Amino acid sequence: MFDNTIIKLNNFATRARKAHCPAENILLLLPRCIQWSKCSQDVVADIENCKVCGQCPLTELFKLKQKYGVQCLVAGGGRQAVAAVKRKDVKAIIAVACSKELSAGIIATLPKPVIAVKNTQPCGFCNNTQVEIEKVEEAIKRIVR
């Protein structure tokens, strides 16, 4: 409950700030669990390793990366995610994760603007998670200048 409140307040505040920046300064931050569990591609090392096979949401998320020119990282863990968002070239973040990870990440990235998009867990926690691609694209459009 507390995590959802943080996410809602954060998203409201980010929209109210009317945060905008060039696409190349936006980081699309994704959790490792969004990748199909039987995939052998190492997308944590580089999202460009995605074969765009359609087995998981990475196919459509990779297409969004290419369409808008945003940076994209599939984070293997919280430390990697925090290090990425603290880079000077990252001015805004679109983060996809579960409520717990999103709320912790929002706090860790202050004062950078973050739009948080919750994933769903049809196969259980941290396994083959899903996300509404339309919500991710809407978030990118909201920030990209």
Cβ-contact 68, 133 below 8 angstroms? no
Question: pTM for the full model?
Answer: 0.94
Predicted pLDDT of residue 1: 65
| pLDDT, tens digit, 9 for 90 and up, residues 108-133 | 898 999 999 999 999 988 999 999 99
Mean pLDDT of the residues in the chain: 94
Could you give all domains of the chain from N- to C-terminal order, each with its CATH number? 2-143 (3.40.50)
User: What stretch of H or E contains 16?
Assistant: helix 2-17
And the tokens for 113?
């603007």
| pLDDT, tens digit, 9 for 90 and up, residues 5-63 | 999 999 999 999 998 999 999 999 999 999 999 999 999 989 999 999 999 999 999 99
N-to-C CA span, the chain? 33
For residue 115, what are the β-bridge partners?
94
Q: How many CB atoms lie within 10 A of CB 96?
A: 27
Q: How confident is the model at residue 90 (pLDDT cuts 50, 70, 90)?
A: very high
Predicted pLDDT of residue 145: 76
For residue 26, what are the β-bridge partners?
92
- C-alpha pair distances (Å), 101 with each of 48, 68, 69, 96: 24, 25, 25, 9
